[in-house]
Homo-oligomer: A and B are copies of this chain.
């Protein structure tokens, strides 16, 4: 395919994408396929000769779409949201074309520098303490990781390296193995200090945890994967109070801040804590500026060597929405969650199981777990909406997460009417 065919096919694909997203409401949110559905539909090996683009695009509707769970349908209320917006998609097209691998400053200076500045922009939106920002001469700074799991792993490895070096400096006769054996990583039942748990979006109290970590000279990593986006709204910023005690902090703009996956934002107060743990300097990656102290080589901040130009997505989204647009988006989702909560509260057959702080409502039918499993099963079999359960203590609870960019009050209303109707069926069967 040459550039001129790409011009034609690319524009067709733009229309396909727009058609898909405009029409997504008309597709069943959850697919009606059995495991193994796809293999018989396609050849057992790659073709020897090239095929035409028409054949491929036709296969999208025939083979792919029947097996897609439509995460951006306004009837999708499962898991947590994954972000999607047109500005982010435009930026991703550009990212693919530039196609640079930004492991060092020299490998593409713009890729590194835009990332550092975008992480400062985002840090300021969250009112992060100055110590987390790179600025022109700060000791801290931000980096885009692929996922919160990677950010947590990076924090853990950096913390381990730091404490090993401290102990070896104090007690040179200690071997690394002897130290490693004694190290303890304290975690909650969600692994690290968490703002907005997956099950019910609860919050650890950083103002309690933070001072203890400080006193004991322990590395504190805070994960606010889903909830973090809400902290750009002043009225939710208090949930982040205590972040000043942390050594590292991360959340996922790719969940709720309209920046398509992957974009997990991580900040540290001392960038040397990361570069000290991950530094990798073969001669083929050296460049003339690296020892100047002026530049950032992001390969020392992460597990993989390679990295895409992901900050373009942040730049496009932040500029095309503006901070006010992003705040309005977060507030709309939280408003819809409260609307759903109030509908549930009006029906005495149901109970709300956790405080509704952001965009997640945990609810259940009063009664047995079996009853709630039956309700969930009916909901997901009907495929009109999609949601998933969780355990809170010993109870099976239904999670209603406001997810899609295009979800409106009418969709929430529809979802509730549908749930009520199925609940009626379940309760009738139980009585019989």
- What residues of chain A have their CB less than 8 Å away from a CB belonging to chain B? 1-7, 9-11, 13-18, 20-22, 31, 33-39, 42, 44-51, 53, 55-56, 60, 63-72, 79, 82-90, 92-94, 96-101, 105-111, 113-114, 116-117, 120-122, 124-125, 136, 146-150, 153, 177, 181, 198-199, 254, 260-262, 282-285, 289, 292, 294-295, 303-306, 308, 312, 315-316, 318-325, 388-391, 396, 399
Q: Verify B14–A10 contact, CB threshold 8 A.
A: yes
Partner of A106, one of B69, B98, B136: B69
Task: Among B5, B51, B93, B100, point to the contact of A68 (Cβ < 8 A).
Answer: B100
**Nearest CB on B from A111, distance (A):** 8
The 9 closest A-B pairs by CB, nearest first: A67-B110, A10-B14, A147-B304, A38-B113, A35-B294, A17-B97, A6-B86, A50-B322, A1-B86
| Cα distance, A89 to B17, chains bound together (Å) | 13
In the complex, what's the smallest C-beta–C-beta distance from A35 to chain B, in angstroms? 4
Residues of B with C-beta under 8 A to A72: 99
A391 and B94 within 8 A (CB): no
The count of identical subunits is: 2
Quick check: B399 and A48 within 8 Å, CB to CB?
no
The answer to whether A100 and B45 have CB atoms under 8 Å apart is no
A295 to B20, CA, bound (A): 27
Smallest distance from the beta carbon of A290 to chain B beta carbons, Å? Answer: 9
Cα distance A42–B79 in the bound complex, in angstroms: 37
Complex Cα–Cα for A71 and B103 (A)? 13
Are B10 and A17 touching (Cβ within 8 A)? yes
Chain B residues near A304 (CB-CB < 8 A): 146-147, 149-150, 262
Contact A198 B282 (CB under 8 A): yes
A324: chain B residues within 8 A (beta carbon): 48-50
A50 adjacent to B325 (CB under 8 Å) = yes
